[in-house]
């Protein structure tokens, strides 16, 4: 059987085995793990902690009203542990302000090194004193496109949605050392936890009904968040994968291949050595924390023909998580865009079931 013929045969076979996503059928494994979540390893208990502020002062960047919601854009300070914080914050601020005069886009990205930027999507019909469930959303690697549609969808159905921005670049040419990859990942998780501090303090938010939604890299981060922050009651993870060292070395995405190239240019390592060094360096990896996640708080979507993060690595993470609720999509990583209406509907229904008394 030729390669193309094998693919033609494999597609309907897998789609049949794993159920069509449009059927709404959750894949159930009768021999799934029944183990309860394990205690967080000692190393991680304080790894994602940060200096906390009781009342975070927010700067309003803008507000707008659409047919489905009110959008409020805010910035709050990003407080990091001393080993991750900028060494000369005031000078860095001045440099960013100067840069903004000629390159606003780059300045906005660099400002995320010391701020948390949040888009808060609020339902239109909120009664005074009423509290609604909130969905925490993380962007894909390339930015906020895609997930902002989910935020508007949730807000249009009575939920509050909070989209947390993230600095895009992985590699700092001035710093060069490979440890910066792990620092970037660790800061991304701290950013989400600190954003939650501000979000849950808002008068419209019910802090007892919190969900999260992430696609691709956003889902990877939320897989870690699920283990280290129990304030989120239910997570929808679309196309996550692990271990991250394998994802990075095999991923064809331009941002990731650029990262691998930068490591090679700075160290001269072949791909095999880069993989080994990533394994030694990366600690913010959902594969290490999966056993600490209560599987009844997670639902995973896997693209069966995913070549970006790798369907095999997605299934590996699913197994490490104890085989939680699973839905399969007969597409590749980017083909999932074809089923966004389905993902929106199914994720909303899951949140409605698991965040009780929600509207």
The pLDDT tens digits of the residues spanning 121-157 come to: 999 988 888 999 999 999 887 655 679 999 999 999 9
- Maximal CA-CA distance, the chain: 66
Q: What per-residue string of b and e applies to 74-89 under the rule 16 or more CB within 10 Å gives b?
A: bbbbbbbeeeeeeeee
Any domain includes 33: no
Any domain includes 328: yes
The pLDDT tens digits of the residues spanning 209-251 come to: 999 999 999 999 999 999 999 999 999 999 999 999 999 999 9
Q: Residue 281, exposed/middle/buried by CB under 10 A (0-12, 13-18, 19+)?
A: middle
Residue 143: predicted pLDDT: 59
- Supply the CATH number for residue 311's domain: 3.40.50.1820
**Other CB atoms within 10 Å distance of the CB of residue 190:** 22
Q: Of 52 and 159, which is predicted with more confidence? A: 159
Any domain includes 335: yes
Is the CA virtual torsion 177, 178, 181, 186 positive or negative?
negative
Residue 358: predicted pLDDT: 43
Domain range for 176 is 44-354
Residue 245: predicted pLDDT: 97
Alpha carbons 73 and 118: distance in angstroms, whole number: 6
Any domain includes 134: yes
Any domain includes 26: no
Average pLDDT over residues 23-48: 70
Residue 9: predicted pLDDT: 35
Residues with Cβ < 8 Å from 270, sequence gap 6 or more?
264
Alpha carbon 280 to its chain centroid, in Å, reads: 23
Q: Of 95 and 144, which is predicted with more confidence? A: 95
Q: Is the pLDDT of residue 10 over 60?
A: no
Q: Is the pLDDT of residue 327 over 70?
A: yes
Q: Is the pLDDT of residue 4 over 80?
A: no
Q: How many domains does the chain have?
A: 1
Any domain includes 91: yes
Residue 61: phi and psi, rounded to 5, are -90, -25
- In Å, what is the CA distance from 200 to each residue of 72, 115, 169, 190, 343? 15, 18, 28, 15, 25
Q: What is the 3-state secondary structure (H, E, C) of the chain?
A: CCHHHHHHHHHHHHHHHHCCHHHCCCECCCCCCCCCCCCCCHHHCCCCCCCCCCCCCCEEEEEEECCCEEEEEEEEECCCCCCCCCCCHHHHHHHHHHHCCCCHHHHHHHHCCCEEEEEEEEECCCCCCCCEEEEEEECECCECCCHHHHHHHHHHCCCEEEEECCCCCCCCCCCCCCHHHHHHHHHHHHHHHHHHHHHHCCCCEEEEEEEEEEECHHHHHHHHHHHHCCCCCEEEEECCCCCHHHHHHHCCCHHHHHHHHHHHHHHCCCHHHHHHHHHHHCCCCHHHHHHHCCHHHEEEEEECCCCCCCHHHHHHHHHHCCCCEEEEECCCCHHHHHHHHHHHHHHHHHHHHHCCCCC
Residue 172: predicted pLDDT: 78
Q: Is the pLDDT of residue 67 over 90?
A: no
Q: Which two tokens stand for residue 71?
A: 């959008």
Q: Is the pLDDT of residue 171 over 90?
A: no
Any domain includes 127: yes
Q: Work out the percent of the chain whose per-residue pLDDT is above 70.
A: 87
Residue 140: predicted pLDDT: 83
Residue 3: predicted pLDDT: 42
Alpha carbon 95 to its chain centroid, in Å, reads: 29
Alpha carbons 148 and 163: distance in angstroms, whole number: 7
Residue 357: predicted pLDDT: 60
Residue with the two structure tokens 């390669």? 3
Q: Is the model's pTM score more than 0.85?
A: yes
Cis amide linkage into residue 243, ω under 30° from 0: yes
Average pLDDT over residues 67-80: 94
Any domain includes 3: no
Helix axes 147-156, 340-354, angle to 10 degrees: 50
Q: What per-residue string of b and e applies to 119-135 under the rule 16 or more CB within 10 Å gives b?
A: bbbbbeeeeeeebbbbb
Residue 333: predicted pLDDT: 81
What's the mean per-residue pLDDT of the chain?
87
């Amino acid at each position: 059987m030729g390669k193309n013929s094998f693919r033609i045969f494999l597609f309907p076979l897998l789609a049949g085995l794993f159920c069509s996503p449009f059927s709404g059928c959750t894949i159930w494994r009768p021999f799934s793990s029944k183990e309860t979540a394990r205690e967080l390893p000692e190393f991680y208990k304080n790894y994602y902690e940060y200096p906390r502020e009781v009342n975070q002062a927010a700067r309003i960047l803008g507000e707008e009203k659409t047919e489905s919601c009110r959008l409020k854009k805010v910035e709050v300070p990003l407080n990091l542990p001393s080993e991750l914080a900028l060494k000369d914050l005031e000078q860095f601020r001045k440099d960013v302000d100067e840069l903004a005069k000629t390159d606003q886009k780059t300045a906005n990205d660099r400002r995320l090194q010391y701020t948390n930027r949040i888009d808060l999507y609020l339902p239109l019909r909120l009664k005074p004193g009423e509290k609604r469930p909130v969905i925490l959303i993380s962007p894909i690697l390339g930015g906020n496109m895609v997930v902002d549609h989910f935020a508007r969808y949730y807000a249009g159905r009575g939920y509050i949605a909070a989209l947390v921005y993230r600095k895009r670049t992985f590699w700092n040419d001035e710093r060069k050392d490979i440890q910066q990859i792990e620092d970037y990942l660790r800061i991304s998780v701290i950013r989400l936890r600190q954003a939650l501090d501000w979000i849950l303090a808002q008068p419209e938010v019910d802090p007892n009904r919190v969900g999260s939604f992430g696609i691709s890299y956003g889902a990877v981060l939320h897989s870690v968040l699920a283990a280290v922050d129990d304030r989120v009651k239910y997570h929808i993870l679309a196309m996550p994968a692990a271990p991250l060292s394998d994802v990075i070395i095999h991923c064809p995405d331009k941002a990731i291949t650029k990262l691998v190239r930068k490591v090679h240019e700075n160290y001269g390592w072949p791909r095999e050595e880069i993989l080994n060094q990533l394994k030694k360096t990366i600690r913010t990896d959902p594969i290490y924390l999966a056993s600490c996640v209560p599987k009844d708080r997670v639902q995973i979507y896997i693209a069966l023909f995913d070549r970006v993060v790798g369907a095999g690595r997605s299934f590996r993470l699913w197994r490490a998580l104890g085989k939680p609720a699973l839905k399969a999509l007969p597409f590749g990583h980017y083909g999932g865009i074809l089923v966004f209406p389905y993902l929106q509907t199914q994720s909303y229904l899951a949140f409605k079931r698991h965040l009780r008394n929600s509207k």
